[in-house]
Structure 1
Amino acid sequence: LNLNIFQENFIKFDNKSLISSFQFGFVFFIAVAATNLFHQGNWQRVYAAKSENILVKSLLISFFIIFLIVLFMGVTGTISKLNGLKFNEDLAFFSIILNQNDILISLIVLIFSLSLTISTVDTLLNSISSLAIVHGKDFFNFKYLKDKKLSNVVLILLSITCLIIALYQFSVLYLFLLADLLCCACVYVIFRGLYQKKIYPCRSIVLIMSGLCLGLLFFPSTDFSKSLLVGIIFNKSIFNEIFTNSLLFWSFLFATFSPMVLDIIYRRAN
């Protein structure tokens, strides 16, 4: 790889490209942070810690390790792009690592990729299973299908669905982004409620729905060229490039912070 090309092209980046890159990074920071706050597997790890001191140390160590991994993945994507490698955006890391067709490196990457996937799926299955066992009786009242049996049925159905999606090679990115949007709309209300002595269900629902609706107005279509507000209800040409080029950014931003702003306005008015 020619790192000189990387240095020359990085200097040529204009302000718009840099702004878009930072917006993109900020979008996924909000999305991943909000989604993982609702990840049952993460909370199980928190409550499984032996002591608060061990929990803090483990979280700090994990933070630095993950930061370095994500930084490395981002740099590989940038280097791949600037060296003219043809790749899909979500496969940039593999494009640069497997560029030389080295069998040993390919085998190592395959082993680590499988380990990461298996670890993630294991955490996800444990969290879904525990939720089905604990809260299943609140939604279903089957005589012969309770607790562990209900959990097994839910996991089998989800596994079949995932298998079908994988066989037909459907992209799950758009569904993932929709889930992120919902989590962004809920994150303020849910976690503020943890520190409130009294919870107001109606106000909470209104705040969540307002954030979700405002987010959906800017949420991009499947081709990411327009949204419900920008391009469908109103002509795209009347909006500034700041909005039209960063629909996902504004969607997550409004979904995350509009419930907070509306809640502050309501409390001051009363």
Structure 2
Amino acid sequence: MVSTAVALTAVVLTVLTVTAFGLLAARGRVRSVEDYISARDSAGPGTLTATIIASMMGVWILFSPAEAGAAFGGLPAILGYAIGSAVPLLLFIPVGTRIRAIVPAGHSLTEFAYARFGTGMYLFVLVVSVFYMFIFLAAEMTGIAGALSLVIGIPQWQTALLVGGFVLIYTAYGGLVASIVTDTVQTLVLLPLLALGFGGAVLALGGTGEIHAAAIATDAPLLDPTFGPGLKFGVYVAFAILGANMLNQGMWQRVYAANGESSLRWGFGVAAVVVVPMILLAGLFGIAAAALGLTDSGGASIAFFLVLESAFPSWVTLAVVVLAVLLVMSSADTMFNAIASVVTADLARLLDQPTQRSLWVGGRALTGIVGIGAIVIGSQGYSVLELFLTADLLAAGIFVPFLAGLYSERLSGAGAIVSSLGGLVVGVAYFPLLRGPVASIPRLGPLLPAPEFLPAFVGATVVSTGGTILAIALWDADVDLSSVDRDIRSLDEPVADGGPNGGENQ
């Protein structure tokens, strides 16, 4: 196993290199708050593909798919994870085209929610979206802190502070511009490292034949594509990922960053194809860990790294450590930027004649607070998969009514809220991780159904969808979609390089 000193040096050098690259890449390219939060029309097909892959594939890819393979149903669970990750990217092709047509000057999903539905639905979307992004950040910090604690013995709080702190530095300076540029480079490094790491692991474990034989001997159902528990997990995790990503502001930003519809289609389409084998490979390590008996005493959430610790040669360990740091930085900067864009766009609407400085400072301040909170949560060692599932459930109950507003002029804000509430009530009633407070109510608790993830996610999505269809059929809000963006303006006044110029709006 690689020494702690060597691994720690690799971590620090990786963090410093990415930070320096982000700072230098953004220098002279952030001329306004508009550039900072949208980088509008700046990404061609290759760049967009790279930034989508890097943004979506955080360090969770080394945790959640492997945990799914080891503890939630083997091969069909991993397949569900892979397909569920690809579907929202494909859906963003028509939805993204529609977003650019309805709100061409837009910046955030909350901005659209307010313009289309009014205050009530806006607050719903704001809370769910920011909560999801916070949980994503916390899960990323949890993942990298747990990985480096296991592999090289660094205290979790130190890892979370080191990685999270430096990501905040270059994103606070360069915004989405820095994120897209670093994502592009990170993807070029990530893909070879993934191939190198996975190839080395297979060789260290004796080849695919040895792994397959061990899995068959230990727990044959894990390799059965029709295994019932795995199929259930695969279905509900697909619903979970779909809802969460459609309310992911980081994806909305990249819709606007595309320099045309052709780039949008290419970027999201190719990314959807690439993420499938990445997740399948990561998930297979969970099956390998179970086959080798490494998860018998628990630890399914770190199945990938249990295999790493027991079988990988030192050079593979070092490659995976660098890979993990790159993964968390590439997705964390997306979430920091996404939160900043939501806050900044909303401040532009809420403040009376806001200055560039007020928008800049307000967005950065709240982003910093959220980032610190995520770092603190990330140092506690919670289950990455459970953190994601909690945020995903809220998104599953709200994303269909929200997206319906892009297409239907009949859906009212009240109809969208009622539909979302109906989905959330059903979801929470079944959801094992959130139903505790409700179940403790004396007369209500006994009436709740048995806790189960599948009906929670499917029920939340289906009920909210049914409510949306019913609301559209029964009421006509008579919204003019062509005028939804009438109050959305560009934030393109010039600023000094890397920060506000402090001047008043002209």
Report TM bin, short chain: 0.7 to 0.9
Post-superposition offset of 1:137: 4.5
CA contact (8 A) 1:219 1:228 kept: no
Post-superposition offset of 1:198: 3.4
For the residue of structure 1 that corresponds to 2:398, the secondary structure is helix
Alpha-carbon separation, structure 2, partners of 1:36 and 1:225: 26
Q: CA distance change for structure 1 residues 227 and 101 in 2, over 3 Å: closer, same or farther? A: farther
Alpha-carbon separation, structure 2, partners of 1:189 and 1:123: 25
Post-superposition offset of 1:84: 1.0
**Aligned residue among 271, 278, 298 for 1:69:** 278
Structure 2 residue 464 is matched with structure 1 residue 259: yes
Q: CA distance change for structure 1 residues 269 and 55 in 2, over 3 Å: closer, same or farther? A: closer
Q: CA distance change for structure 1 residues 201 and 134 in 2, over 3 Å: closer, same or farther? A: same
Q: CA distance change for structure 1 residues 13 and 25 in 2, over 3 Å: closer, same or farther? A: closer
The 5 Å alignment of 1:1-270 reads 1=205, 2-3=210-211, 4-9=213-218, 11=220, 18-86=227-295, 88-100=299-311, 102-138=313-349, 146-171=358-383, 173-221=385-433, 228=439, 233-234=445-446, 247-265=452-470
Alpha-carbon separation, structure 2, partners of 1:43 and 1:192: 16
- For residues 159-218 of structure 1, what are the alpha-carbon distances to aligned partners after superposition, in whole Å with 9 as ceiling and x for unaligned? 221232233434565443232111111111011111012331111111111111111111
Alpha-carbon separation, structure 2, partners of 1:258 and 1:27: 15
Q: CA distance change for structure 1 residues 267 and 59 in 2, over 3 Å: closer, same or farther? A: closer
Alpha-carbon separation, structure 2, partners of 1:49 and 1:267: 32
Alpha-carbon separation, structure 2, partners of 1:195 and 1:91: 42
CA contact (8 A) 1:219 1:227 kept: no
**Identity of counterpart residues, as a percentage?**
23
Q: Which ranges in structure 2 are unaligned for 5 or more consecutive residues?
A: 1-204, 476-506
Q: CA distance change for structure 1 residues 99 and 218 in 2, over 3 Å: closer, same or farther? A: same
CA contact (8 A) 2:396 2:460 kept: yes
Post-superposition offset of 1:117: 0.4
Alpha-carbon separation, structure 2, partners of 1:120 and 1:89: 23
CA contact (8 A) 2:404 2:411 kept: no
The total of aligned residue pairs comes to: 260
CA contact (8 A) 2:347 2:359 kept: yes
- Root mean square deviation of aligned Cα: 3.2
CA contact (8 A) 1:220 1:227 kept: no
Identify the structure with bigger relative contact order (alpha carbons < 8 Å, sequence gap 6+).
2
CA contact (8 A) 1:218 1:227 kept: no
CA contact (8 A) 1:211 1:256 kept: yes
Q: CA distance change for structure 1 residues 268 and 123 in 2, over 3 Å: closer, same or farther? A: closer
Give the alignment's TM-score, normalised by structure 1.
0.83
For the residue of structure 1 that corresponds to 2:228, the secondary structure is helix
- Letter of the aligned partner of 1:261 in structure 2? G
- Letter of the aligned partner of 1:123 in structure 2? T
Give the alignment's TM-score, normalised by structure 2.
0.46
Runs of 4+ deviating beyond 6 Å? 140-145, 224-227
Post-superposition offset of 1:142: 11
Post-superposition offset of 1:53: 2.0
Q: CA distance change for structure 1 residues 193 and 151 in 2, over 3 Å: closer, same or farther? A: same
Q: CA distance change for structure 1 residues 127 and 262 in 2, over 3 Å: closer, same or farther? A: closer
Alpha-carbon separation, structure 2, partners of 1:162 and 1:113: 17
For the residue of structure 1 that corresponds to 2:465, the secondary structure is helix
Q: CA distance change for structure 1 residues 95 and 13 in 2, over 3 Å: closer, same or farther? A: closer
Q: Which residue of 1 aligns with 2:137?
A: none
Post-superposition offset of 1:8: 3.9
Q: Which ranges in structure 1 are unaligned for 5 or more consecutive residues?
A: none
Q: CA distance change for structure 1 residues 167 and 80 in 2, over 3 Å: closer, same or farther? A: closer
- For residues 38-93 of structure 1, what are the alpha-carbon distances to aligned partners after superposition, in whole Å with 9 as ceiling and x for unaligned? 11111211221122222222222211211001111121111211221136222222
Further displaced range: 143-152 or 32-41: 143-152
